[in-house]
Amino acid sequence: MQYVFSPKNAYRLVQITDCHLLQSADGYYQQVQPAKHLAAIIRQLQTELPDAVILTGDLTQDHSEASYSLLAELMQ
């Protein structure tokens, strides 16, 4: 998939790193519910409309198919 940006003087990029998502949206990782925090961040980004969002680091904690599916669902 290729992304083409229209030329402009500056771009607004957002980097989200180390989400540590689990299979369940209600799951806890170190006393935090990663899916709920990521969902809140995504809601905020929908109002700010960055040019691109870059995901890095440990996107999931358990590396399960379900946790990656949850990530895809949250990012839509």
In sequence order, what DSSP letters do the residues of 35-74 get, joined into one string?
HHHHHHHHHHHHHH--SEEEEES-SBSS--HHHHHHHHHH
This prediction's pTM: 0.83
- Report pLDDT digits (tens) over 7-58: 888 999 999 999 999 999 999 999 999 999 999 999 999 999 999 999 999 9
End-to-end distance of the chain based on CA atoms, in angstroms?
16
The answer to whether residues 15 and 57 touch, using CB atoms and an 8 Å cutoff, is no
